């Protein structure tokens, strides 16, 4: 048989030897690249899939950066839509344009003209429209936003590793200055006005350009940062195009996948992590998705996250390490509470002390 | 004539059984109770409902509030509701600080909106609303402002002198030297919010809010030391006297 380029390929290059049989998600990752290192401080952003990362990062002994963490008495009240699940309370960042604009806002380089929606009792953050406890006045909104952007900048600029999960290509933007919103105005909050907002379906070129600018800008202030890119396997919940949501979703994920590949091939220390393939590839068990065939199941999430952790030579521990500041805060809060209760009720039971 | 004791005998009315004003509520009534005992001029005009054994205070229960609803019919009623919410989670200092509108703990700390802080107080005000809704005529009810916070310096000296609290802190895992009171700014901020919320509840439920007497606090809103009792959270009988006079004046009841 004549020689050909495939002769020298390893097993992973052949479907029959690496997918039909002997599939191992670890083999999807270039063994020469250690994605995470033991002392890394990790920041994540992106679609909701990115928020799943946090407990796995922490159980592997790495530091998940949290720069906007509230005292327990407030955080225990809960938050909507995963705002509390990321390094700062930016919530889901579905498009790369939104990510870039968020960072530019934190640097004071972009000031969207339509950044708040004033309602009777509250002022809604157009970029965090689902916040459970919005500001009550414009003054409070400005202070809240300033604090949030400071925390965002700190999370981005102190990270050793920035994990970003591409979510969508479809977005709604301001006709005035291109400000890109996480949700169509009028869905979670605000009012849809076609004179003010327009639909965009970002192209590969636009996504690559936005992400490259983001990487370059962040590296200018945080030269050590490494990037891990992934594509969310969660399909679109709805499309604003005239296509079927399934074909629109396939198009969107394909664009994102190509963009991630271009970026990882052309930029230093930018690595693609194949979460998308692990969950959506033909080898994946049907159980990786929930019954709605959209949301990824716990089993699927565990597979992806364990692949990430194990491919880095790290081990997940079952016991989460709580940060010292959190431990101290809980103790102080407990002492405050006990002193106050004792002085107020004059009731003291030894087993409560 | 009012009934002196509740059915179980746990609670009783102090200060006479035919008062024009009845006072009820939580631990901040203690200062008014002491003032009532020490100043005969209020006897007969003001009654205060508290534990039958005043040395053994417990939190007012259903029987207590049933009794107040029953006995206050046709009377003026002043309620001192909780009043230590600002201390409950924040009396002891911690590194986990926060900022809010009119609270600046430092630029590196996160911002908490007023709506979120108010939500943290919801359980206590929800309970207040439930109780007030049981009174058929709330036009004769006033909700009392509660004493302002004590200074950090005063609290720190009391904490460091109090072996009981220091040992309690050690049991929780805080070293004695690290047990310090939180900032004045934080506790004043939280206290003002609770006063605002009490006033809001009063308005919404058709009552009147009677704030803490202006002469009881310094210009920075800390409780004046002359009105502080020897603990971390309460005011003394002189403060109680100010409140009694203010309550009597508010309801137009002449005393002494």
Residues A311, A313, A314, A315: is their CA dihedral positive or negative?
positive
Does B113 sit within 8 Å of A135, measured CB to CB? yes
Question: How far from B66 is each of B4, B24, B69, B131, B140, CA to CA, in Å?
Answer: 14, 12, 5, 9, 17
Which pLDDT score, from 0 to 100, does residue A104 have?
Answer: 98
Chain A CB contacts of B101 below 8 Å:
137, 139-140, 143
Give the gap in angstroms from C-alpha B189 to the nearest C-alpha of chain A: 15
Which pLDDT score, from 0 to 100, does residue A343 have?
Answer: 67
CB < 8 Å from A in window 168-187 of B: 168-169, 171-174, 179, 182
Which pLDDT score, from 0 to 100, does residue A350 have?
Answer: 33
Q: By CA distance, what is B165's nearest residue in A?
A: A339
Strand A161-166 and strand A170-174: the pairing is unpaired
CB < 8 Å from A in window 46-85 of B: 56-59, 82, 84
Q: What is the pLDDT of residues B182-218, one digit of tens each?
A: 999 999 999 999 999 999 999 999 999 999 999 999 9
The span from the CA of B74 to the CA of A32, in Å, is 84
Residues of chain A with pLDDT under 50: 319, 346-353
Torsion of CA A196, A202, A206, A208, to 10 degrees: 140
Strand partners, A162: A43, A227
How big is the CA angle at A96 (ends A95 and A100), to the nearest 5 degrees?
125
Which pLDDT score, from 0 to 100, does residue A352 have?
Answer: 36
Asked if the C-beta of A274 comes within 8 angstroms of chain B's C-beta atoms, the answer is: no
Q: Residue B14 corresponds to which tokens in the numbers above?
A: 């102090």
H-assigned helices in chain B: 29-38, 62-71, 85-88, 114-120, 122-132, 152-161, 163-172, 184-204, 237-251
ipTM of the complex: 0.88
Question: How far from A184 is each of A122, A189, B207, CA to CA, in Å?
Answer: 19, 9, 44
Which pLDDT score, from 0 to 100, does residue B79 have?
Answer: 97
Q: By CA distance, what is A140's nearest residue in B?
A: B101
Residue B30, in any domain of the structure: yes
Total Cβ atoms within 10 A of residue A69: 22
CB < 8 Å from B in window 324-343 of A: 325-329, 331-341, 343
Chain B CB contacts of A339 below 8 Å:
87, 91-92, 165, 168, 232-233
Domain with residue B232: its CATH number is 3.40.50.1110
Rg of chain B, C-alpha, whole Å: 19
Which pLDDT score, from 0 to 100, does residue B16 have?
Answer: 83
Residue B229, in any domain of the structure: yes
Are residues B85 and B26 in contact, defined by beta-carbon separation less than 8 angstroms?
Answer: no
Write B104-111 long-range contacts (CB < 8 A, 24+).
B104/B185, B105/B183, B105/B185, B105/B186, B107/A150, B110/A68, B110/A69, B110/A70, B110/A147, B110/A151, B111/A143, B111/A144, B111/A146, B111/A147, B111/A148
Classified as helix, coil or strand, B217 is strand
Residue B90, in any domain of the structure: no
Q: Residue A219 corresponds to which tokens in the numbers above?
A: 């590296």
The span from the CA of A159 to the CA of A162, in Å, is 6
Residue B157, in any domain of the structure: no
Which pLDDT score, from 0 to 100, does residue B212 have?
Answer: 97
Strand partners, A63: A41
Q: Which are the contacts of B124, defined by CB distance < 8 A and separation ≥ 6?
A: B81, B82, B85
CB < 8 Å from B in window 63-122 of A: 68-74, 77, 122
Domain count, chain B: 1
Asked if the C-beta of A349 comes within 8 angstroms of chain B's C-beta atoms, the answer is: no
Q: Which are the contacts of B189, defined by CB distance < 8 A and separation ≥ 6?
A: B100, B102, B103
Does B174 sit within 8 Å of A344, measured CB to CB? no
Residue B234, in any domain of the structure: yes
Does B107 sit within 8 Å of A150, measured CB to CB? yes
Residue B135, in any domain of the structure: yes
Domain that includes residue B58, residue range: 11-84+122-150+190-251
How big is the CA angle at B5 (ends B4 and B11), to the nearest 5 degrees?
125
Residues B215, B219, B222, B228: is their CA dihedral positive or negative?
negative
Strand partners, A123: A118, A135
Task: Give the pLDDT of chain B (256 residues) as one tens digit per residue.
Answer: 888 999 999 999 998 888 999 999 999 999 999 999 999 999 889 999 999 987 777 889 999 999 999 999 989 999 999 888 778 788 999 888 999 999 999 989 999 999 999 999 988 899 999 999 999 889 999 999 999 999 999 999 998 888 888 888 888 888 888 899 999 999 999 999 999 999 999 999 999 999 999 999 999 999 999 999 988 889 999 999 999 999 999 999 988 7
Q: By CA distance, what is A154's nearest residue in B?
A: B108
Strand B141-144 and strand B208-210: the pairing is parallel
Asked if the C-beta of A140 comes within 8 angstroms of chain B's C-beta atoms, the answer is: yes
Helix, strand counts (H, E) of chain A: 11, 10
Question: How far from A87 is each of A158, A166, A341, B13, CA to CA, in Å?
Answer: 11, 17, 35, 56
Q: Residue B211 corresponds to which tokens in the numbers above?
A: 């704030």
Does A347 sit within 8 Å of B168, measured CB to CB? no
Which pLDDT score, from 0 to 100, does residue B58 have?
Answer: 82
The span from the CA of A119 to the CA of B115, in Å, is 14
Residue B5, in any domain of the structure: no
Which pLDDT score, from 0 to 100, does residue A346 have?
Answer: 40
Q: Residue B2 corresponds to which tokens in the numbers above?
A: 């009012």
Residue B199, in any domain of the structure: yes
């Amino acid at each position: 048989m004549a020689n050909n380029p495939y002769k020298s390929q390893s097993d992973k290059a052949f479907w029959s030897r690496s997918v039909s049989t002997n599939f191992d998600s670890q083999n999807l990752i270039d063994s020469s690249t250690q994605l995470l290192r033991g002392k890394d401080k990790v920041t994540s952003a992106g679609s909701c899939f990115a928020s799943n990362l946090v407990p796995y990062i922490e159980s592997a002994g790495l530091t998940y950066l949290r720069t906007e963490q509230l005292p327990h008495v407030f955080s225990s009240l809960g938050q909507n839509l995963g705002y509390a699940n990321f390094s700062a309370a930016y919530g889901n960042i579905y498009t790369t344009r939104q990510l870039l604009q968020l960072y530019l806002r934190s640097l004071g380089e972009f000031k969207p003209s339509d950044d708040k929606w004033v309602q009777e009792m509250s002022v809604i953050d157009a970029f965090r429209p689902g916040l459970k406890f919005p500001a009550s006045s414009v003054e409070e909104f400005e202070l809240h936003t300033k604090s949030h952007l400071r925390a965002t900048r700190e999370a981005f600029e102190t990270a050793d590793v920035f994990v970003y999960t591409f979510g969508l290509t479809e977005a709604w933007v301001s006709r005035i200055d291109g400000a890109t919103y996480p949700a169509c105005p009028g869905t979670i909050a605000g009012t849809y006005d076609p004179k003010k907002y327009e639909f965009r379906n970002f192209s590969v070129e636009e996504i690559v350009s936005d992400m490259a600018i983001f990487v370059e800008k962040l590296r200018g202030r945080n030269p050590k940062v490494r990037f891990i890119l992934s594509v969310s396997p969660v399909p679109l919940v709805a499309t604003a195009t005239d296509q079927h949501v399934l074909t629109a979703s396939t198009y969107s994920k394909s664009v994102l996948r190509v963009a991630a590949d271009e970026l990882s091939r052309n930029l230093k220390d930018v690595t693609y992590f194949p979460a998308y393939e692990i969950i959506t590839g033909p080898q994946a068990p049907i159980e990786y998705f929930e019954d709605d065939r959209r949301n990824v199941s716990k089993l699927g999430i565990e597979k992806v996250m364990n692949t990430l952790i194990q491919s880095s030579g790290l081990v997940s521990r079952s016991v989460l390490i709580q940060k010292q500041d959190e431990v101290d805060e809980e103790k102080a809060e407990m002492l405050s509470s006990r002193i106050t209760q004792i002085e107020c009720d004059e009731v003291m039971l030894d087993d409560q002390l | 004539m009012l009934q002196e004791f509740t059915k179980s005998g746990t609670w009783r009315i102090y200060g006479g059984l035919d008062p024009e004003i009845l006072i009820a509520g939580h631990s901040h009534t203690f200062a008014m109770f002491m003032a009532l005992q020490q100043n005969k001029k209020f006897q007969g005009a003001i009654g205060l409902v508290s534990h039958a054994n005043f040395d053994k205070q417990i939190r007012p229960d259903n029987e207590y509030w049933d009794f107040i609803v029953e006995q206050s019919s046709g009377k003026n009623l002043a309620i001192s509701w909780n009043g230590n919410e600002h201390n409950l989670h924040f009396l002891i200092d911690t590194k986990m600080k926060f900022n809010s509108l009119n609270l600046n703990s430092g630029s590196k700390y996160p911002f908490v909106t007023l709506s979120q802080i108010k939500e943290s107080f919801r359980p206590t005000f929800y309970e207040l609303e439930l109780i007030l809704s049981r009174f058929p005529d709330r036009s004769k009810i006033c909700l009392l402002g509660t004493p302002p916070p004590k200074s950090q310096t005063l609290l720190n000296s009391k904490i460091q002198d109090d072996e009981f609290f220091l040992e309690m802190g050690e049991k929780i895992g805080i070293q004695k030297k690290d047990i310090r009171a939180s900032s004045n700014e934080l506790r004043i901020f939280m206290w003002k919010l609770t006063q605002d919320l009490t006033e809001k509840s009063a308005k919404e439920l058709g009552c009147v809010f009677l704030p803490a007497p202006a002469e009881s606090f310094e210009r920075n809103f800390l409780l004046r030391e002359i009105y502080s009792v020897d603990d971390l959270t309460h005011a003394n009988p002189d403060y109680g006297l100010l409140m009694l006079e203010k309550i009597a004046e508010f309801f137009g009841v002449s005393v002494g």
